[in-house]
Chains A and B, each alone.
Chain A
Amino acid sequence: MPTYERKMIEELVDGKLSFRQVHKILSSFKDADRFDQYVSILQERVPYDDKIIMPYGLHLNIVAKETGERIVKCDCGHEFCEYTTNWKLFANVYVRDTEEKIMEVYPKFMGCDPKWMHLREFYCPSCFTMLEVEAVPPGYPFIFDFQPDIEAYYENWLNRPVPTP
C-alpha cells in the first residue's frame, strides 16, 4: 500500500498537485495514513488550538472541546453548534428567490426559475466565508448534510479511540 510524502498531500489540499500525481493517487490503492496526514495539515493551518477530530467541509471542522462537546467550527474560529445539530440553523443565509437576484450569478435564461428553485447561500456570521449553497424548491427544509458516526470511524476503521483535547 502506498504512502505519500506530506508535501504531496499538502499540494493536494491546495489544488497544486500535478495531474500526473493526482492520477497516481486516484488509480492506486488508497494510502492508509491519509486521514492523519490530512488532519495534521488542517490543524497546522487553523488559528485555533482545539483539536480537529474530523473535517466537515472546505472551511468547517468538528473539534473536540475541553467540555467533551464536539463543535462544528469555522476556519476563522467561529463556533456553530454541537455536530449532532445542523450548523446551517446558526449561519447567515442569503436566498436568491427572484429573477433579479438569480441573474446576478447567471446569464438570462441560463439560471433557474425562482418559482421552481431557490438558491440558498450559507455564510459564516464572523468572517462571511460562503460555506455552502443549496439549490432547492421554495419552502424546502434546510438539509442536514452529514451526520458522521465518529466513534465507529475511529474505533472500527482506524482502530483507536476518538482523540480527546
Chain B
Amino acid sequence: MASINAQILAIDAGGTMTDTFIINDKGEFVVGKAQSTPHDESVGLLQSAADALTYWGTTVEESFPNLLAGVYSGTAMLNRLVSRKGRRVGLIVNKGMEDFHRMGRAIQSYLGYSYSDRLHLNTHRYDPPLVPRERTRGITERVDVFGNVVIPLYEHEVEPAVLDLLDQDVEAIVISFLHSYKYPAHERRVRDMAKEIMKKVGKEVPIFASVDYYPLRKESHRTNTTIIEAYAADPSRHTLEVMNRRIQEKGATFDLRVMASHGGTISYQANELARTLVSGPIGGVVGAKYLGEFLNIKNIACSDIGGTSFDIALITQGDLSINSSPDMARLVLSLPLVAMDTVGAGAGSFVRIDPNFKSITLGPDSAGYRVGVCNPAGGIDTVTVSDCHVVLGLINPDNFLGGEVKLYPELAYEAVKKQVADPLGLSVEDAAYGVIDLLESQLRNYLESMILGKGYSPSQYVCFSYGGGGPLHTAGYTKGLGFEDVLVPAWAAGFSAFGCGAADFEYRYDKTLDLNVNDGASAEEKLMAGSGLQQSWEELMEKVAHEFERNKFSSDKVDFRLFFRMQYQGQLNDLEIESPVNRVETVDDWNQLVASFEETYSRVYARAARSPELGYTITGAIVRGMVEVAKPKIPEEPLYGEKPPKNASLGRRKVYWKGAWTEADIWEMEALKAGNRIEGFAIIESPATTFVVPPGFETYLDQHRIFHLKEIVK
C-alpha cells in the first residue's frame, strides 16, 4: 500500500519475543512479533518488522527508507544481569573494604519485595554478588569527605593486584575508591597504571574507573552501576552496533537510538550505556509527556495496567520526576530513573481466599502472559483477575489479542466457583464482580494517595490510562477522584512503544557537589558557591556536548537544560530543581536558585516545613542536553457527528454489573469516528484492548483519536 507512510520504528526485544511497533503519520501502528534470536538480535528484529509490515501489505525494503527514526528498548541487558551471565569482572577497592560489595548494604536482601515479604524476615535473601570476593582486591589509599588525601595511594600495591586479577582471567576491571567523585586522581592513576601493566604483560582487558562513569556519592550505588557498565552494558554495545548496521543495510537512513532510564534516548555509542538497562515501562510515561505537550496539558497522572502490574507516574509542570538512586534487579544503582510506583496488581494477578479470614487477596504474583484458568494452554490452575473479566462478560473470549488466544469462559466459571464463590458463599458472578471491585478500589486508593503524597490534588491532574488492561478499569479506578479529565488513547495497547518513538534524543549527566551556604551568608560566600555550581555545569555541558559530537551534532544544535539538587544543611535528602537562571554569576542569581528551592520545598512538603535558618547545601549539578529528532505524528481527523456510524456496532452482549445481568452495547474501536459520543453501558473493543464505559459514564472520541471519559452528572 503506497498510502502507508511508516515513520517510527520502536523495538521491544524481550527474552522470548521481539516486538516491533511501526507507527505511521496518522498515529496508527502495527505490531510485529518474532522469536528473539539471542545470538544475533538483528535477525529476530528484521523478522518481527517484516511481520508487522505485512498488516500494511508492505515490506521492510519498501518501508525502511522512509522511516524517520528507530528506538530500541530491550531486556537483554537486564536479563544478562538477572541471570548472572555477564563478563568476568575484577574489582579494585580500598584495602580493608573489600567486602562491602558482597554485603549489599544489607538492603539488597529484600529489594524488590512485596510489602508482606519485606516484613516476613525468613524470605529475605542475598543474591550472589556480581563480583565474587576472590576477584576483589584492595589497594591502600584514603580520601576524606572533603577530598583531602588522608593516606596517599600506595602505588606499589597496584601491580600485584592487577596481575592477580589477570591471572584469574578477568574480562574487565572496575576501580571504585571512597570519595573519588570528590578527588578523582587516585582512581585515574590506578586506571592508567593498570593499562600500562596490562600492555606490558600483553593481556589487555577494558578498565572502568567509577569517576569516568558515575561520579556520585554512595559507594554501593556507584560501584554497582560501574560494575554493571563493565558486566552487562559494554558487552551489549556490539549487539546494538550490528543491529544498527543491519537496518541501515535495509535502507534506513537514521542511527538507532536506545531508550534510557532518565526518559530520553541515547546513542548506542554513549559512554554510559548502563543507563539503558531499564527502558520498558518508561516508554508510556514519555509518551504521555509528549501527548501532554501536544495537547497543552501540564499535569498528568499516568496509569498503566499490564498483565502483571499497575504502574503510576506523575508528570508535573511538564516534567517527569526522577529518582537518582533507584534499585533495579535487586541492586542499588546511581542511575537517574523516571520515578514510577508499581503495585503488583494487574489483569493476570492471582485471586485467592485467605483460609483464616475468608477475604479475597489479589497477587502479588501473577500469571502474566499465561492469562488465567480460561486459557488452558497456559497451564494455570489458580483464578486470575482475567478469569473474572471473562465470567462477567467484560472481555470477549473470541477476540482476545485479536483472537490469537482462545479463552474458555466455562473453565473460568468453574474455577471461580470452586476457588472463590463457594468458599465465600456467593454466586459466581457476585464473586467475580467483588474481585474486580476490590482491584479497582485498591488501584483508586493507590493513585489518590500517590498524588496527595506529592502535595497535589487529583483535580489538578489529567489522568492518562493505557496499557492492555488499563481501559478495562479506567472508570473504576478514576471514579469519584475528580480528575480534571480522563483520557484513553485509542492506541492504548501500543502506547509504550509510541512513547519510545516520541522520546527526545537526550543525554543527562549528574555530578555530586557539597556547597554549603549558611543563613545570612555574605555576598562573597554566595558567589563562591555559585561559581562552584557554574563550574560543574560547564564540566557536565562539555560531557553532554562531547556525547552529541560522537553523533555528529555540534554543540550549538544542543538545547541545554540546567538542574541542581538542594537541601537545607544537615538534611539527608534533597530535591531536584530546574535552574531559573542560565548562569550563576551574581548574588541575585544565587538568590533566585534559593527562591526556587524554597518554592518547590513548600509545595512538596508544606510552607511551614521550610527552615531557611539552617542554611542551604547544593548536593549536585545536572545537565540535560537535547537535540531535535523526528517524532510520531499525533492523529488529526475531521469531526463527524455525535452518533457513531452503524458499521461500528458489534451488537449487544450480556454483562454482569452490580448484582444483575445487563446488556452492553459493543463497539468496534477502529470503526468509531472522531466526534462520536457513547453513553454507558458500552464496551469498546479493539484487538489489543477493551475499553469499558459503565452505566453512569459517557465517552467522547476527539479528533486525535483519544477517548475522554466522564461521569454523567445528574
On A, residues with C-beta under 8 Å from B are 1, 19, 23, 26-27, 29-30, 32
Residues of A within 8 A of B114 (CB): 27
Report, as a range, how many residues of chain B touch the other chain: 10 to 19
Rounded to whole angstroms, the CA-CA distance of A1 and B422 in the bound complex is 13
A29 and B352 within 8 A (CB): yes
B202 close to A (CB within 8 Å)? no
Question: Within the complex, which residue of B116, B125, B354 is in contact with A19, where a contact is CB–CB below 8 Å?
Answer: B125
Q: Which one of A1, A19, A27, A29 has the highest number of Cβ atoms from chain B below 10 Å of its Cβ?
A: A27
A29 and B123 within 8 A (CB): no
Rounded to whole angstroms, the CA-CA distance of A1 and B354 in the bound complex is 8
- A32 to chain B: closest CB distance in Å? 8
Rounded to whole angstroms, the CA-CA distance of A68 and B354 in the bound complex is 38
B355 and A26 within 8 A (CB): no
B355 and A29 within 8 A (CB): yes
Residue of A nearest to B354 (CB): A29
Residues of B within 8 A of A27 (CB): 114, 116-117, 120, 123
B317 close to A (CB within 8 Å)? no
B573 close to A (CB within 8 Å)? no
Residues of A within 8 A of B354 (CB): 29
Which B448-487 residues sit within 8 Å CB-CB of chain A? none
B352 and A26 within 8 A (CB): no
Residues of A within 8 A of B125 (CB): 19, 23
Rounded to whole angstroms, the CA-CA distance of A23 and B113 in the bound complex is 11
A sample of 18 cross-chain residue pairs with beta-carbon separation below 8 angstroms, ordered by A number, consists of A1-B355, A19-B125, A23-B117, A23-B123, A23-B125, A26-B120, A26-B122, A26-B123, A27-B114, A27-B116, A27-B117, A27-B120, A27-B123, A29-B352, A29-B354, A29-B355, A30-B355, A32-B355
Residues of A within 8 A of B355 (CB): 1, 29-30, 32
- B415 to chain A: closest CB distance in Å? 14
Rounded to whole angstroms, the CA-CA distance of A23 and B125 in the bound complex is 10
Rounded to whole angstroms, the CA-CA distance of A23 and B355 in the bound complex is 19
Rounded to whole angstroms, the CA-CA distance of A30 and B355 in the bound complex is 9
- B357 to chain A: closest CB distance in Å? 11
Residue of A nearest to B364 (CB): A27
Residue of B nearest to A30 (CB): B355
Residues of B within 8 A of A23 (CB): 117, 123, 125
User: Which A-B residue pairs are the 9 nearest by beta carbons?
Assistant: A26-B123, A1-B355, A29-B355, A23-B123, A26-B122, A19-B125, A27-B117, A27-B123, A26-B120
- B108 to chain A: closest CB distance in Å? 15
Rounded to whole angstroms, the CA-CA distance of A29 and B116 in the bound complex is 12
Residues of B within 8 A of A26 (CB): 120, 122-123
Residues of B within 8 A of A19 (CB): 125
- A66 to chain B: closest CB distance in Å? 37
- A25 to chain B: closest CB distance in Å? 10
- B358 to chain A: closest CB distance in Å? 12
Rounded to whole angstroms, the CA-CA distance of A26 and B355 in the bound complex is 15
Residues of B within 8 A of A29 (CB): 352, 354-355
Rounded to whole angstroms, the CA-CA distance of A32 and B356 in the bound complex is 12
Rounded to whole angstroms, the CA-CA distance of A23 and B122 in the bound complex is 8
Residue of B nearest to A20 (CB): B125
- B268 to chain A: closest CB distance in Å? 34
Rounded to whole angstroms, the CA-CA distance of A26 and B117 in the bound complex is 9
- B383 to chain A: closest CB distance in Å? 13
- A165 to chain B: closest CB distance in Å? 32
- A156 to chain B: closest CB distance in Å? 15
Residues of A within 8 A of B122 (CB): 26
Rounded to whole angstroms, the CA-CA distance of A32 and B423 in the bound complex is 15
Rounded to whole angstroms, the CA-CA distance of A15 and B23 in the bound complex is 53
- A77 to chain B: closest CB distance in Å? 33
Residue of B nearest to A28 (CB): B352
Residues of A within 8 A of B117 (CB): 23, 27
Residues of B within 8 A of A30 (CB): 355
What sequence of 0s and 1s flags, for each residue 114-130 of chain B, a beta carbon within 8 Å of any chain A beta carbon?
Answer: 10110010110100000
Which B387-437 residues sit within 8 Å CB-CB of chain A? none
Which B72-127 residues sit within 8 Å CB-CB of chain A? 114, 116-117, 120, 122-123, 125
Residue of A nearest to B122 (CB): A26
Residue of B nearest to A1 (CB): B355
Rounded to whole angstroms, the CA-CA distance of A23 and B114 in the bound complex is 12
Rounded to whole angstroms, the CA-CA distance of A147 and B116 in the bound complex is 31
Rounded to whole angstroms, the CA-CA distance of A19 and B125 in the bound complex is 9
Rounded to whole angstroms, the CA-CA distance of A32 and B125 in the bound complex is 26
Residue of B nearest to A32 (CB): B355
Residue of B nearest to A19 (CB): B125
Rounded to whole angstroms, the CA-CA distance of A26 and B124 in the bound complex is 11
Rounded to whole angstroms, the CA-CA distance of A30 and B352 in the bound complex is 12
- A29 to chain B: closest CB distance in Å? 6
Which B339-373 residues sit within 8 Å CB-CB of chain A? 352, 354-355
Rounded to whole angstroms, the CA-CA distance of A98 and B197 in the bound complex is 55
- B418 to chain A: closest CB distance in Å? 12
Rounded to whole angstroms, the CA-CA distance of A30 and B354 in the bound complex is 10
Residue of A nearest to B361 (CB): A29
Rounded to whole angstroms, the CA-CA distance of A30 and B123 in the bound complex is 15
- B93 to chain A: closest CB distance in Å? 26
Rounded to whole angstroms, the CA-CA distance of A32 and B355 in the bound complex is 10
Residues of A within 8 A of B123 (CB): 23, 26-27
- A19 to chain B: closest CB distance in Å? 6
Residue of A nearest to B419 (CB): A1
Residue of B nearest to A29 (CB): B355
Rounded to whole angstroms, the CA-CA distance of A36 and B117 in the bound complex is 27
Rounded to whole angstroms, the CA-CA distance of A19 and B352 in the bound complex is 23
Residues of A within 8 A of B120 (CB): 26-27
Residues of A within 8 A of B116 (CB): 27
Rounded to whole angstroms, the CA-CA distance of A29 and B114 in the bound complex is 15
Rounded to whole angstroms, the CA-CA distance of A61 and B120 in the bound complex is 29
Q: Which one of A23, A30, A32 has the highest number of Cβ atoms from chain B below 10 Å of its Cβ?
A: A23
Contacts A26-B122, A27-B116, A30-B355 supplied; 14 other A-B pairs, CB < 8 Å: A19-B125, A23-B117, A23-B123, A23-B125, A26-B120, A26-B123, A27-B114, A27-B117, A27-B120, A27-B123, A29-B352, A29-B354, A29-B355, A32-B355
- B207 to chain A: closest CB distance in Å? 34
Rounded to whole angstroms, the CA-CA distance of A23 and B116 in the bound complex is 12
Residues of B within 8 A of A1 (CB): 355
Residues of A within 8 A of B352 (CB): 29
Rounded to whole angstroms, the CA-CA distance of A32 and B116 in the bound complex is 21
- B350 to chain A: closest CB distance in Å? 10
- A94 to chain B: closest CB distance in Å? 31
Which B250-277 residues sit within 8 Å CB-CB of chain A? none
- B118 to chain A: closest CB distance in Å? 11
Residues of B within 8 A of A32 (CB): 355
- B354 to chain A: closest CB distance in Å? 7
- A20 to chain B: closest CB distance in Å? 10
Rounded to whole angstroms, the CA-CA distance of A26 and B352 in the bound complex is 15
Residue of A nearest to B356 (CB): A29
- A12 to chain B: closest CB distance in Å? 13
Rounded to whole angstroms, the CA-CA distance of A32 and B123 in the bound complex is 21
Residue of B nearest to A24 (CB): B365
Rounded to whole angstroms, the CA-CA distance of A30 and B125 in the bound complex is 21
Rounded to whole angstroms, the CA-CA distance of A62 and B98 in the bound complex is 49
Rounded to whole angstroms, the CA-CA distance of A27 and B344 in the bound complex is 14
Rounded to whole angstroms, the CA-CA distance of A26 and B116 in the bound complex is 11
- B430 to chain A: closest CB distance in Å? 22
Residue of A nearest to B352 (CB): A29
Residue of B nearest to A23 (CB): B123
- B609 to chain A: closest CB distance in Å? 38
Rounded to whole angstroms, the CA-CA distance of A105 and B573 in the bound complex is 45
Rounded to whole angstroms, the CA-CA distance of A1 and B356 in the bound complex is 11
Rounded to whole angstroms, the CA-CA distance of A29 and B120 in the bound complex is 13
Rounded to whole angstroms, the CA-CA distance of A125 and B114 in the bound complex is 47
Rounded to whole angstroms, the CA-CA distance of A27 and B125 in the bound complex is 14
Rounded to whole angstroms, the CA-CA distance of A1 and B355 in the bound complex is 7
